[in-house]
Amino acid sequence: MNHPILDQIRRLRTELAPGDTAPALVTALADGTAPLSAVAELAAQQQRIITSDRRSLLLLATRCADRPLGAWFVTLAEGESAALRTLPALAAACGLDRRAVEARVPLPGCQAYPSYLAWLALNAPPPAAATALVANFAAWGGYCATIAAALRRHHGFSDEACAFFDFFAQPAPELEQQAADALGPDPLDDRTLTAAREYGLLLQAYEHLFWDALGG
């Protein structure tokens, strides 16, 4: 028997899917023409992004702490913590030590996404924020899978150096199922879906800015 909320999440994911055209940087990494300096910048920017996103997810969790959705947000925050632990190896493979990572200035285009997630944490109804987030995971995961394969093929990166991308490249269906279970048995109402669609479109736009800023 289909879960009605899971069906709604998957329809929104399909609606928000970016299509077959990957960001220019992802394509360039895949064919080996992108400089490794772009991956170094990605690692440095992600250090700031993940630190911010983790706090935002925990704030969302506190706003619905008495509901199953609160635990789902905590699970996401724990995932951010796990991803953060993989970044030093990626940065090191690109020639950056801790001080070099910390010295990198934040790029506005890269930091738009976490800034918006912080806004969602303060202002969005948690069910709509959760639906928007989970609907956007698939595209990011696909890009990470492509980059992980490219770094191994073109640069000889080790599994440890690729662990950041491998972590996010894992299939999203289980997380979608967990989100649907946490949101409850009843279908999402029109107001929640409308808000989730708006949030999802903006999250997608800010993710595009992230890739454009790195490739510029």
- Average pLDDT (25-30) is 96
Q: State the pLDDT at residue 82.
A: 97
Give the confidence band of 114 by pLDDT, cuts at 50, 70, 90: very high
31-215 CATH fold: Heme Oxygenase; Chain A (1.20.910)
pLDDT at 208 over 60: yes
> pLDDT, tens digit, for every residue of 68-107?
999 999 999 999 999 999 999 999 999 999 999 999 999 9
Average confidence (pLDDT) over 188-202: 96
In this predicted structure, what is the pLDDT of residue 140? 92
Q: Which residues of 153-188 are buried (b: 16+ CB within 10 A; e: fewer)?
A: eeeebeeebbbbbbbbbeebeebbebbbebbeeeeb
Question: Where are the strands (E) in the chain, listed by range?
Answer: none
According to the model, what pLDDT value does residue 2 have?
66
For residue 20, pLDDT over 90 is answered with no
Tokens (6 digits) for 33: 């023409």
pLDDT confidence of residue 216: 62
Average pLDDT value for the chain: 94
How far apart are the C-alpha atoms of 77 and 211, rounded to whole Å?
23
Give the Cα separation of 93 and 87 in Å (integer). Answer: 10
- Per-residue confidence (pLDDT) for residue 174, from 0 to 100: 84
Full-model pTM: 0.94
**With 60 as the cut, is the pLDDT of residue 1 above it?**
no
DSSP annotation of 64 reads T
Average pLDDT over residues 161-169: 97
The answer to whether residue 211 scores a pLDDT higher than 80 is: yes
Q: Which residues of 38-71 are buried (b: 16+ CB within 10 A; e: fewer)?
A: bbbbbbbbbbbbbebbbbbbbbbbebbeeeebbe
Mean pLDDT along residues 99-123: 97
Q: Domain extents for the chain?
A: 31-215
Mean pLDDT of 7-31: 90
